[in-house]
Amino acid sequence: MHNRQYVTITHYKEREFYYLSHAIQTDNGFIPKEIEQFHESEKDKFIEHIRTLQSEYPHTQIVSLSLSTNQKVTQKEDKNRVSAKIFNSNFVEQDKIDIGNIPTTLYFSPFAILYEEYKDKLDNKLTLLIGYFDRKLYMMFATEEKIHQSWVIGTRGLTEKQIAFRVYKSIKAYYKMSYKFADHIEMLLSDDSPKLLKVLREELPLTILTTQNSIHNLLHHMAGDQKRASSSYIRSSISAEYASIVNNLDNNLAVSVNSNSNHNLENLRLSEPDAIRKDISFFDKLKLFFGTKNASKPRHTLLSFIPLLFVLGAGGYYQLESDKLLNNIEVAQSQLSSQIDNELLIKKSKDIFLAMGKNAELKNGLVSNSKIKLKGIVWGIEPLRESLTTLYPKGKFSITALENFRTEFSFISKV
């Protein structure tokens, strides 16, 4: 009898513990067995236990829950990401299936569980569905037609009031996009969280209806029916040939041992690296560029650009300012030199006119800081010669007699 039973083995990891359960599936629902807890240091023991259960019940599905925060609900399937169809026109997607080396055949998203839980309640009014799993809020705005928007909010380290504020922010953000407020909130809780519920009810302007169920029970339910499981488990779109892992899944315990061992996510994992290479994102390329597989290292590398940018920015700023100052200095220096030269030029001109006095009359002349050239009519030759040669001893003074008994003088000197 034992061998003909269809058993669902469920497991998930919350913080540092693995939780394991199994349930016998019957036509009238499932009969859950005990839940076991393993510390992450006992991972081998935990896997061994799954293997034992598998050997005990040959017709099994090993079911787990994706608690990744990078999941989102989309309207269109992205063939390059792993996805699950959860509505007629919606897909829940995440970057990759990350189950480590833990045996898993069916992998569900909290969004799929939420949809399964509330699909019959949805109508044309907008409902905010919230799943609270592993201290994360999986939120989606849905009507009977489709899921309009989804968010995942991590709540670790936040107070209940801060969580409520984030939910409110999401409601507001959705209102900004669609000008629609949710009619009410349906909340599926995997843990008893009375304080959070109380604060949410106080802080949010919407009615909150709650349902509580354990993750194990939800997973047993999801995997308990072929149609349900096959329509919403997370497929790896890496390979179409694996697209129907549970095609052979049967409520009447018709799952063959072969299909169970060949078509599971463990096998998919083995074929992942090639595919993931194809699905590589820009950020992954950036990571590869920096030559590390450690996710935090590229972040460090990017952060290390901050001091470099700061140093270059400061250097550039001071260089520009310095160049401006140099230009100003040049202008100021030219102005100073010009002023000194102008003063000297005026002094020379004054001295020359003073030296000529009443003894001569200038006809034309050139006065500069480097040379003097004068030409005019002279009346007192000797006094003029004397005063000009006193000013410029090396100057050349000459006179020319004119026809009308006048005398012309010229004086040339270098300064």
Partner 1 sequence: MSLKATSLITKFILLLSVVALFIWTIPNIVNYYTNLKSYRVKEKKLDYMYDKNHIISKAEEFTLDSFKKSANAIFSDVSIKQKKEQEYEVSIEVVKDKLDSIYTFIKTISLNYLVTIKDNELKFEDKKQFIEVTFIVEKL
Binding site for partner 1 (CB under 8 A): 290-292, 297, 300-301, 304-305, 307-308, 310-312, 314-315, 318-319, 321-322, 325-326, 328-329, 331-339, 341-346, 349-350, 353, 361-370, 376
Please say which residue, 280 or 345, places its beta carbon nearer to partner 1: 345
Structural tokens at position 36: 């076991």
Please say which residue, 178 or 338, places its beta carbon nearer to partner 1: 338
Measured CA to CA, the distance from residue 346 to residue 369 in angstroms comes to 10
CA dist list (Å): 52 to 55, 212, 267: 5, 30, 19
Measured CA to CA, the distance from residue 149 to residue 94 in angstroms comes to 15
Please say which residue, 28 or 296, places its beta carbon nearer to partner 1: 296
Measured CA to CA, the distance from residue 413 to residue 407 in angstroms comes to 20
Q: Closest distance between partner 1 and the C-beta of residue 287, in Å?
A: 10
Please say which residue, 51 or 300, places its beta carbon nearer to partner 1: 300
Q: Closest distance between partner 1 and the C-beta of residue 353, in Å?
A: 7
What is the DSSP code string of 182-248? Answer: -SEEEEEESS--HHHHHHHHHH-SS-EEEEE--HHHHHHHHHTSHHHHHHHSPBPTT-GGGTTTTTT
Please say which residue, 270 or 306, places its beta carbon nearer to partner 1: 306
Residue 52, classed as helix, strand or coil, is: helix
- Residue 40 is classified by DSSP as G
Q: Closest distance between partner 1 and the C-beta of residue 304, in Å?
A: 4
Q: Closest distance between partner 1 and the C-beta of residue 298, in Å?
A: 8
For 324, the enclosing helix (H) or strand (E) is helix 296-356
Q: Closest distance between partner 1 and the C-beta of residue 342, in Å?
A: 5
Angle between helices 296-356 and 381-391 (to 10 degrees): 160
Please say which residue, 209 or 336, places its beta carbon nearer to partner 1: 336
Q: Closest distance between partner 1 and the C-beta of residue 399, in Å?
A: 18
